[in-house]
């Protein structure tokens, strides 16, 4: 069955499919392998992790879209403060992370310290099922979010821990802003920035 790559708004009813998709998408991600080093337990833990982020955080305070094989969570500039996990969400994430919770907290705090201060759209998370690689799912979601940022005349920001993904983002106008070295021997994060593009035909 063909999986459409047309972006649609994600709702709570999509939680199971989104968590499965993101679990597959991030299985080889250096950051997720650092947070969840146990190969045998990673799939279950990642599923819980992404379901928690989606249901308790981004679906309420972000702009969440999906295709048949990918998902993306964006945060608008006016929602940045609200998108921070509340105490109950933090406790749930700590339970999922177990003895890696302290490393996770330090990584989040470090990354937050490098976040840009000016208004921007933040691409918090994007991932596509590797089985659908090359079919335009991730690109469709990225274009959709960037069109929203461009329409508002604001830049976009993201962080990637997978160096092989950097050319993909650069193709859409992002440039590396900074390398962030996480404490505790964690992987490198590349923060990336994209200035807004004017829609075709709009005078400068």
What CATH number does the domain located at 8-145 have? 3.40.630.30
Question: Per residue in 109-129, pLDDT tens?
Answer: 999 899 999 999 999 999 999
Residues 6+ apart with CB under 8 A from 104: 35, 93, 94, 97
CA dist 91 and 172 (Å) reads 36
- Residues 168-185: tens digit of each pLDDT: 999 999 999 999 999 988
Residues 6+ apart with CB under 8 A from 157: 115, 116, 120, 121, 122, 123, 177, 191, 192, 193, 194
What are the CA-CA distances from residue 48 to residues 33, 51, 63, 147 (Å)? 15, 5, 20, 30
């Amino acid at each position: 069955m063909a999986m459409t790559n047309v972006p649609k708004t994600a709702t709570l009813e999509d939680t199971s499919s989104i968590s499965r998709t993101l679990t597959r998408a991030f299985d080889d991600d250096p950051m997720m392998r650092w947070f969840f080093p146990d190969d045998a337990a990673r799939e279950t833990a990642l599923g819980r992790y992404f379901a928690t982020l989606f249901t308790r955080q981004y679906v309420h305070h972000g702009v969440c879209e999906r295709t048949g094989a990918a998902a993306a969570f964006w945060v608008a500039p006016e929602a940045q403060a609200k998108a921070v996990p509340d105490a109950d969400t933090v406790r749930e994430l700590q339970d999922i992370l177990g003895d890696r919770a302290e490393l996770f907290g330090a990584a989040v705090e470090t990354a937050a310290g490098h976040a840009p201060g000016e208004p921007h759209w933040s691409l918090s998370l994007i991932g596509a099922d590797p089985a659908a690689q090359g079919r335009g799912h991730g690109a469709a979601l990225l274009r959709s979010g960037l069109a929203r940022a461009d329409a508002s005349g604001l830049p976009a920001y993201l962080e990637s821990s997978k160096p092989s993904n950097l050319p993909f983002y650069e193709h859409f106008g992002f440039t590396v802003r900074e390398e962030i070295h996480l404490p505790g021997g964690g992987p490198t994060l590349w923060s990336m920035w994209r200035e807004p593009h004017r829609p075709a035909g709009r005078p400068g």
